[in-house]
Structure 1
Amino acid sequence: MRAATVCLSFRNIWMLAIALLAAIALALPVWAADISEFVGDYEGNADLVRADGTVEPRDMSVSIAETRDGFNVSWSTTIQKPDGRIKESDYSVDFLPSPREGIYAAAMTRNVFGHAVQLDPMKGEPYVWGRIEGDTMTVYSLFVADDGGYELQQFDRTLAEGGLMLKFSRLKDGVEQRSVETFLARQ
């Protein structure tokens, strides 16, 4: 009887080991296959349409790269003002896989333990996340305004022959403030 108990214990341990290996395999990040299609440098220009209908020309670029733990999206927008001034805005965000497939958490700062974490929207900082769904990578930025309202920026970057189609929109309290669509050519 004792031998049967030992065999059963080894069998249970074996089954537990197989289940553990299967769980680890399922939990491995799936970003590598998804992000590799987007990796590269892209450039283009567009006319941004404001809520009042005015148009503002912009030069745009984006660089998407794999990192050790996820990926990075860096983008730049250059605006030539009517008075000749040039305004350039640059952003760079690291993304890490979340426990939810295809959804990525922004790693924009480090906590006291050195772990990459999100910013705090209650402090006026943007809450940023991304997702990859099919051939589209979307980056969202949510801002909580001082009056408690919100602003949501959405960047859809869809794979296209020779580059990416960019669709950007900015909503403030549910009302579209700006939008732009353009093609960014792979460099």
Structure 2
Amino acid sequence: MNRSDRTSSFAQMARWLSVLAIGLLLASPGWAQDIGPFVGDYVGSADVVDADGSSTPRDMSVSIAETGEGFVVKWKTTTYKADGRVKEQSFSVEFRPSDRNNIYSAAMKRNVFGHEVPLDPMKGEPFVWGRIEGETLTVFSLFIDEDGGYELQQYDRTLAEGGLNLSFSRFRDGQKSRSVETFLKKQ
């Protein structure tokens, strides 16, 4: 093989590798960071602290699973009131990669074409999105009330040995009104 043939072969290989790299980038789901390390079922409990310093015991669980186009986060809380009442709430949000690096849009209802779309905060529905930053999966929920004020909830779930560290904060019109920090053990 002479020098000209080697140069031509090298150029062809470089072009082939470039095409392969571009194809892999186009085939991947955006620039999304992997949800894999977060996948699992987790449980724990904590005292939720309100702005006035009072606290309420609460059991919590979260399940994170991959889907065909993204991932789903399901969580449940059981609150034990001082008067003996027990309140349970469950939530489920499916996320899809957005056009932005490591930011995920929530697909919470279907439009007239059958596509899943976020809810509308101007109609009192929450606007939800997520992001993965390093070892932390964050879910944000924004609510706009009837007077135009807002509530922002932030759930940070950070990978830890044996589970997740959960940090939750609720802000109303910029003021922190509730928070909780606890460890959720992987099942």
TM bucket, shorter chain: 0.7 to 0.9
How many angstroms does 1:101 deviate by?
A: 1.5
Distance 1:148 1:32, change over 3 A: closer
Question: Displacement, 1:124?
Answer: 0.2
Aligned-residue RMSD, C-alpha: 1.9
Any idea what the Cα deviations from partners look like across 1:42-83, whole Å, max 9, x if unmatched?
000001000000010100000000011100000000011112
Equivalent in the alignment of 1:116: 116
What does residue 162 of structure 1 align with? 162
Structure 1 segments, 4+ long, off by >4 Å, are 18-21, 30-33
Structure 1 pair 21/110, CA: closer, same or farther in 2 (3 Å)?
Answer: farther
Deviation at 1:19, TM superposition (A): 6.5
How far apart, CA to CA, are the structure 1 residues paired with 2:38 and 2:129?
17
The CA deviation string for residues 72-104 of structure 1, in whole angstroms up to 9 with x for no partner, is 000000011112111001000000000111000
8 Å contact kept, 1:137–1:156: yes
Match of 1:52 in 2: 52
- Tell me how far 1:31 sits from its aligned partner: 7.3
Q: Where do residues 109-148 of structure 1 align in structure 2 (5 Å cutoff)?
A: 109-148=109-148
**Letter paired with 1:138:** T
Q: CA–CA distance in 1 between the matches of 2:98 and 2:144?
A: 23
In 2, Cα distance between equivalents of 1:27 and 1:148:
42
Matched residue of 1:37: which SS?
helix
Corresponding residue number in structure 1 for 2:80: 80
**In structure 2, distance between residues paired with 1:76 and 1:153:** 15
The one-letter code sitting in structure 1 at the alignment partner of 2:25 is A
Helix, strand or coil at the partner of 1:25 = helix
CA contact (8 A) 2:32 2:102 kept: no
Q: Counterpart of 1:22 in 2: which secondary structure? A: helix
One-letter code of the match for 1:81?
K
Q: Which runs of 5+ in 1 are unaligned?
A: 1-14
Task: Name 1:10's counterpart in structure 2.
Answer: none
Which amino acid is 1:118 matched to?
Answer: P
Please say if residues 167 and 181 of structure 1, whose CA atoms lie closer than 8 Å, have aligned partners that are also in contact: yes
In structure 2, the residue matched to 1:89 is 89
Letter in 1 for 2:148: G
Contact 1:31 1:70 in 2 (8 A): no
Deviation at 1:20, TM superposition (A): 10
Q: Are residue 69 (structure 1) and residue 69 (structure 2) matched?
A: yes
